[in-house]
Amino acid sequence: MKVDTAIVLGSGLGSLANEVCVEKSIGFAEAGLPVSHVAGHVGRFFLGQFASIPLWVMQGRVHLYEGHSAQAATAGVRWLAEQGVTRIILTNAAGTLHPEYLPGRWMMLSDHLNLTGTSPLEGGPNFFDMSEVYSAEWRDLMRKKANELGMPLHEGVYAGLRGPQYETPAEIRMLRAIGADAVGMSTVLEAIQAKALGMEVLGFSCLTNWAAGMSSDELNHREVLETGKLAAVQMLSLLAAALPQDG
Ligand code: HPA
């Protein structure tokens, strides 16, 4: 089975993995990756089929906020490249900064702001072109399929921060001023690494909550996980409609 597409599942989106008919399961430790200890991040690769689509699934990821380096946080992407993956879909849970992008909806990444202060390409003269990280062609297809399904799909800029604490209202106002629509603590380094390896990249944020200061609610990780679970159902339909089936 030739499997060239992978999906990385973010917080609360692990239920996507339940829909995959698993042929092979490889734990992060077995693959030589650091193991995450955050609730909602299991830490394994699956090879299998989802709605007749052959797929690699990376369930869980390694975050900077756990004390890992940019290299460690992107080891999964390099491992997938070694398995022959050339197309990668990065998903995450994010806070929404856009007044019209409601929690519970998905936002496809048109671009990102890497505000982590680091890069997986550090250490070499990697003056890499980043003018189109998230494939315009692949995004066109997703937009069209979401439209056909009647699924609301926003598009915007994701700001990737180190965390682990959520942002202050002042930080959120700053992020809005510099053009962010959503904020989270992952994805940007993986996107840089995937792009540098020549992969076609797509990113989706599950908007789990209003960013700090945009509602009177306090942020909590459990709520992020629960909203992610509900929205995962929509993403399953979109992927089933948009990814090529086997044979
Ligand atoms: N901020 C940062 N990361 C997040 C958020 C948020 O509001 N929601 C989910 N991940």
Report the 3 state secondary structure along the chain.
Answer: CCCCEEEEECCCCCHHHHCCEEEEEEECCCCCCCCCCCCCCCCEEEEEEECCEEEEEEECCCCHHHCCCHHHHCHHHHHHHHCCCCEEEEEEEEEECCCCCCCCCEEEEEEEEECCCCCCCCCCCCCCCCCCCECHHHHHHHHHHHHHHCCCEEEEEEEECCCCCCCCHHHHHHHHHCCCCEEECCCHHHHHHHHHCCCEEEEEEEEEEECCCCCCCCCCHHHHHHHHHHHHHHHHHHHHHHCCCCC
In the chain, domain spans: 5-246
CA of 96 to the centre of ligand 1 (A): 8
- More confident: 121 or 15: 121
Name the average pLDDT for the chain.
90
Of residues 63, 98, 112, 154, which has the active-site annotation? 63
Six-digit token string for 142: 């997703």
Residue 149 CB less than 6 A away from ligand 1: no
Fold of 5-246: Rossmann fold (3.40.50)
For the whole model, what pTM was predicted?
Answer: 0.93
Q: What is the mean pLDDT of residues 2-26?
A: 84
Residue 95 CB less than 6 A away from ligand 1: yes
For 15-71, the pLDDT digits (tens) are 777 888 888 999 988 998 887 666 555 789 999 988 888 999 999 888 898 889 999
Residue 166 CB less than 6 A away from ligand 1: yes
For 201-233, the pLDDT digits (tens) are 999 999 989 999 998 776 667 776 667 666 888
